[in-house]
Amino acid sequence: QKEVEQNSGPLSVPEGAIASLNCTYSDRGSQSFFWYRQYSGKSPELIMFIYSNGDKEDGRFTAQLNKASQYVSLLIRDSQPSDSATYLCAVNGRQAGTALIFGKGTTLSVSS
Amino acid sequence: EAQVTQNPRYLITVTGKKLTVTCSQNMNHEYMSWYRQDPGLGLRQIYYSMNVEVTDKGDVPEGYKVSRKEKRNFPLILESPSPNQTSLYFCASSQFSNTEAFFGQGTRLTVV
């Protein structure tokens, strides 16, 4: 059974701090990695995707991938109260038709 | 505007009364899928479609049907809804199975 594991949280950080969200996956053949943000009762929206080992930066967000350790993380710099949401890690395999497997999400709370 | 549109957004129905949730995308995507989201269980895939007339079961297909007669539409059918199908449902589309998924607004279904 392919799995994606996330700490459910809540992760609480003060405004302006760095929030670090982590995700591990079980399928060593996974090729595509995504971070989605979901506000309560709303649909998931893509924040970042990463395919290669290393770091990928987009504004205040940095995704980090380590395929050898089967680990992907999301860093949010200068956290804002509007970043308070549930963050979903999603992983996809290399085979055609392989579904995105979602973790259960980490709830982030940024206090002002 | 690129989007995935689901209808209805909210639905309350009675056990056994057939219903259909519609999903339409305007991005010419090949891959479409349905997820349900339940507290503590995360997003679980119900069915997916890699192209017109090609559909397959996801992780939790029991009690659901789908069809893909046109590329843009992927309706979810509950022939005889039961209370355990009360959930938040999302339709998603992507160019391919391993690329970014775009989600619809969600349908909150209650079966009494």
Residues 10-49 of A with CB under 8 A from B: 31-32, 34, 41-46, 49
* B15: contact with A, CB 8 A cutoff: no
Residue B102 pairs in a beta bridge with B93
CB contact under 8 A, B98 and A102: no
A7 pLDDT band (50/70/90 cuts)?
Answer: confident
Across the interface, of A31, A32, A97, the residue whose CB is closest to B56 is A97
The distance of A95 to chain B (nearest Cα, Å) reads 8
pLDDT at B17: 97
Closest to A57 measured CA to CA, from A86, A77, A36, A85: A77
State how far the alpha carbon of B69 is from the alpha carbons of A9, B3, B54, in Å: 42, 19, 9
Please give the Cα distance from B30 to A7 (Å, whole number): 33
The pLDDT of residue B96 is 85
Share of chain A above pLDDT 70, in %: 93
- Pick the residue from chain A with its C-alpha nearest to B102: A45
Confidence at A1, pLDDT banded by 50, 70, 90: low
Residue B105: its chain A contacts at CB < 8 A?
A: 42-43
Helix (H) or strand (E) holding B16: none
Res. A97: pLDDT tops 70 = no
Alpha carbon of B20 to those of A18, B7, B12, B104: distances in Å? 44, 9, 12, 15
Report the distance separating Cα B91 and Cα A26, nearest Å: 25
Q: Which DSSP symbol is given to B80?
A: S
Among A88, A89, A92, residue whose Cα is nearest residue A32: A92
What confidence tens digit (pLDDT) does each residue in A45-60 have? Answer: 999 999 999 999 999 9
Confidence of residue B1 (pLDDT cuts 50, 70, 90): confident
Residue of A nearest to B41 (CA): A104
Task: Judge whether residue A44 has pLDDT over 90.
Answer: yes
What is the rounded average pLDDT of the residues B64-70? 97
Rounded distance, CA A109 to CA A81, Å? Answer: 7
Averaged pLDDT, B64-69? 97
